[in-house]
Structure formats: C-alpha cells, structure tokens
Amino acid sequence: MNLFQHIPLNSALLENMNMALFQEIKNRQADFMKAFNAGDPKGAAEIYDPDGYFMPNGKSPVKGRAGIEQYFKQDMSEGVASAQIITEEVNGSGEWAFERGSYHLEGNRGTESGAYLLVWKKVDGKWLVHNDCFNVIKAAQQ
C-alpha cells in the first residue's frame, strides 16, 4: 500500500475547502461594499463581531460594532463615497479565518489605496470580522 497515493486527493479536498471559504468571505465583503457604497454605516458595520476591533492606520483602535459604525459614519460625513475591497488571500479552519487584500476608497478628496489584514470569526454560522487592521499606501489629498 502506497500512503502517498492519497495526498493528491487530500490536497484537492483542501483546495476545494479553501475555495469555498474564499467565496464565503468574498460574499461577506460584497455585503459590506453594498452597504458602505449605499451610505449605510450601520449595514457596513454588520459584518463586524459585536466585540471586534477596527484598527485604522495612524489612529486609535475602535472596539465594538457600535464604535465601528460611528467610524464609518464619520468617514461618510467627511466625503468618503465608495469602497472597493479586493480579496487576495483567505485561509483558515474551524471558526477562524484570515483575509489579506487591498482596498480603494473614493471620495471628495480623491482616492485612498491600501492593504489590509482581517481576522474572521464564525459566530452562529456567520462569518464576522473580529479584527480589522489596514495601512494606507496612497493617501487621498488632504
């Protein structure tokens, strides 16, 4: 019996599981973009764990969904009109996953571009952002 004959099957199974996770996370990001781009800070914050953290570039961390909603509300009031999220990598297992990607924000000051890393937690069968950290690569005009 050759034990290595099972590796391709297991690798294929793992790849399919990762693709399914990738799509689930990408769908959650689509929910975020739909709400954010509609000017709905409450809807945008719904993808966050109620006890999650949002760690914006150069600013103090924001704890909790209500605080994150207020952060988005302020962004929108300052002229950020749309967000584009580009998921580049997703991996994880069980109740935890991570996502790495890039983003673009459009608004009355131009475009801001950057990179992000998210930690997702599955709560009651739904993926929620538990930690969100990003850095700005190209700042919008001040």
Location of structure tokens 């950020």: 80
Q: How far apart are CA 98 and CA 111, in angstroms?
A: 26
pLDDT digits (tens, 9 = 90+) for 55-111: 999 999 999 999 999 999 999 999 999 999 999 999 999 999 999 999 999 999 899
| pLDDT score at 11 | 52
What pTM did the predictor assign?
0.86
| pLDDT score at 109 | 86
Averaged over 36-43, what is the pLDDT?
98
Burial of 90 (0-12, 13-18, 19+ CB in 10 A): buried
Domain 3-138 has CATH 3.10.450.50: yes
What is the percentage of the chain residues whose pLDDT exceeds 90? 85
